Structure 1
Amino acid sequence: MLQAWLAGLSWAPLAVSSQFTGSSLIVAKKFAICLPSTPSARGMIFLGDGPYYILPPTSLDAASILSYTPLLKRPKSSDYYIVVNDISINRLTIDSLGRGGVKISIVVRYAKLKSDIYRSFLKGFAKATEAIPRAKTVSPFGLCLKTSTMGFSRVGLTVPPVDVELANGKNWTIFGSNSMKQVASDVACLAFEDGGHKAKLAVVIGSFQIENNFSLFDLVRSRLGFSSSLFFVRTTCGNFNFTTKPKALITKKDRQYSLACILND
């Protein structure tokens, strides 16, 4: 019989990442998440240290391809934030966000931008794709394109990449697979929403933007490891390599334990 369970993955004391770090079970206070892009595909959540082996073409530790940026904590909030300085399209900066925290959410489906930032972002993306025929917009999106004249690469539709410049000079690049939502056979829409002019946060990064990305939340060192699209290394979140395929697998490495849970199985 299939069973569903709900697990918190926040800074909160009752979150799963905290519950597995007591003296009776030695687990590093970190977790990794890899979300699938379709309901039928598998994703993964890891609690504790790696390695996080993934196939193909060879057995690769996903942690080896990560870049890192600081994780922020806000008073009275158990959410995760990162510092974003700029967002650019085709290396053209379209908005400066200052040094405020940007929230990462797997509850919000598509990235939400405060209205003034969204308008600037939408204008920049529209200009960068002006040669692509438009399609009728589909709610909740503000720009939709006809895909029949667009190419397709291993990282999705060939649209200009969105570069998110982080606090320490690192870039998180969002390619077509995470920026364009296919809504019809010949229509794809820019998967960012107008969060409204009264939005409390400048930007909330949604789950669509991190599908088939490997994200490592290192709570000990207060940093986020991010891979950008795994399609670049010709793999997906469904290809993590285990010698067996249980619902949960506990391994031991240098007196540290890790727990891996399969999503959508």
Structure 2
Amino acid sequence: MKASLPTLLLVTLVVVVLTATASAAAPAAKCWSHSQDQGSTLPVFHVYSPCSPFRPAHAASWEESVLQMQAEDKVRLQYLSSLAVAHKSIVPIASGRQIVQSPTYIVRAKIGTPPQTLLLAMDTSNDAAWIPCEGCLGCTSTVFSPPKSTSYKPLSCSAPQCKQVPNPTCSGSACSFNLTYGGSTIAADVSQDTFTLATDPIPFYTFGCIKKTTGNSVPPQGLLGLSRGPLSFLSQTQSLYHSTFSYCLPSFKALNFSGSLRLGPVGQPIRIKYTPLLKNPRRSSLYYVNLRGIKVGRRTVDIPPSALAFNPTTGAGTVIDSGTVFTRLVTPAYTAVRDEFRRRMGNVVVTSLGGFDTCYSVPIVVPTITFMFEGMNVTLAQDNFLIHSSAGSLTCLAMAAAPDNVNSVLNVIANMQQQNHRVLYDIPNSRLGVARETCS
């Protein structure tokens, strides 16, 4: 594919907000009316799209927004790395702070009888679901009301699910748990109720019902865990969806519910390339793949094999993650890609912006970038690896080196690089598929 100069992806929160203002975006009800759930497919939208109540009230500058996203990504990566230390796949609340801090993707869920509509962050690196509940001290968003649901049930300490949450405690006969994370403490009850995603009701779904939060890390929304732990959505719906799902993530500039989450094997793409999914006992919640190399243009860059190697002993390798914004590669891999990208630019002056060290203030013609996985290659469109200031002429390579202060080598293929692709998780066959699909 020949390189060109189409309109580049506007990835900043300020651009999304300004676009929403300019187009006089309708309230959420109108957004939803044009994106109804169909069968086992439901709409996905970006947390800061005009349809989201979580978009910021005050627009930041482009530079401020990019720097904020970079800082939040760094914390997210430290969390992913910390899973190797915890030796536990069930962390129903800990990653919630990272999901809320970083731009992410949200789906609608109906909970209870009669159903109450809530918005849940979609997280492929988390096992459990949790939602803020009525009477929650410190919660700042829409809450679920257990008294209004005839199917709600708190679980007792003798329930097997009580043993699957971290640090379970008993108050009377009810099972609950407390977590301290960053500047916040979160207390939740282990509960069950009917969840409805798309048009499929799921009775007796186990989740954390948040009762109290303190500190500065309070999550404003619920979370839907799509990893492989015993309390994950996949485990609890195995008989219905057969541990299979796919999504197409819209770009950050999408104005409404333009993406989709498709549940179950029915309706998944037939023409799609696959790579094996790997299991890493050090980080059992994460989806590992075998990244064998990276091309810039037609040239395979020289990356030390150790930088990409999968190691179940240390937790090293490459993961696909829906909650990280910008792809992070360990330093030897990133340096090799960056240097080849710069070489292709010739003698153009290179500038930087925060953690992005390869930026240009003049128009550039860029090469393609291709991720070479075992069994498939994924060539990215420019929108998947360039960010461009709408207020000026600055263009940056939207990848960076992984933080140095993590406990083992971890490459993360992030959501910007996944946008406008159908990404299929086929757990029974231990494979991940990727196909180009425009959903913005």
Query: Residue 225 of structure 1 is aligned with which of 417, 429, 433?
Result: 433
State the match for 2:419 in structure 1.
Answer: 211
Counterpart-to-counterpart distance in 1, 2:298 and 2:353: 27
Could you say what the CA RMSD is over the residues aligned between the two structures, in angstroms? 2.1
Structure-2 change in CA distance of 1:190 and 1:216 (3 Å): same
For residues 140-219 of structure 1, the aligned pairs below 5 Å read: 140-146=355-361, 149-150=363-364, 159-168=366-375, 170-184=376-390, 185-197=392-404, 199=406, 200-219=408-427
The structure with the largest alpha-carbon Rg is: 2
Residue of structure 2 equivalent to 1:80: 287
Which segment drifts farther, 83-92 or 212-221?
83-92
In the aligned structure 1, how far is the partner of 2:379 from the partner of 2:242?
28
Q: How many residues align?
A: 209
Superposition misfits of 4+ residues, deviation over 6 angstroms: none
Please give the secondary structure, in 2, of the residue aligned with 1:40.
coil
- Provide the rounded CA distance (Å) in 1 between the counterparts of 2:270 and 2:388: 31
Determine the C-alpha separation between the residues in 2 that align with 1:44 and 1:212. 10
Q: Which amino acid aligns with 2:355?
A: P
TM-score normalised per structure 2 = 0.44
For 1:50, the aligned partner's letter is V
Is 1:123–2:339 an aligned residue pair? Answer: yes
Q: Distance in 1 between matches of 2:426 and 2:380?
A: 22
- Counterparts of 1:201 and 1:47 in 2: how far apart (Å)? 32
8 Å contact from structure 1 (residues 160, 175) kept in 2:
no
* Distance in 2, Cα, partners of 1:84 & 1:141: 22
Residue aligning to 1:248: none
- Structure 1: how far apart are the matches of 2:331 and 2:350? 22
The CA deviation string for residues 134-181 of structure 1, in whole angstroms up to 9 with x for no partner, is 46321221111246x34xxxxxxx52111111123x211122110111
More helix by percentage: 2
| Structure 2, unpaired ranges of 5+ | 1-28, 30-116, 121-222, 311-316
The Cα of 1:8 is off from its aligned counterpart by 0.6
Please list every run of 5 or more consecutive structure 1 residues that lacks an aligned counterpart in the other structure: 53-62, 151-157, 231-235, 239-265
Alpha-carbon distance, 1:87 to partner: 1.0
Rounded to whole Å, the distance in 1 between the matches of 2:273 and 2:379 is: 11
**TM-score of the two chains, using structure 1 as the length reference:** 0.72
Shift of the alpha carbon at 1:198? 5.0
Identity %: 27
User: Which has the higher mean CA deviation after the structures are superposed, 197-206 or 67-76?
Assistant: 197-206
Q: Larger relative contact order (C-alpha < 8 A, sep ≥ 6)?
A: 1
Name 1:40's counterpart in structure 2: 255
Tell me which residue corresponds to 2:126. none
Mapped partners of 1:187, 1:50: distance in 2: 44
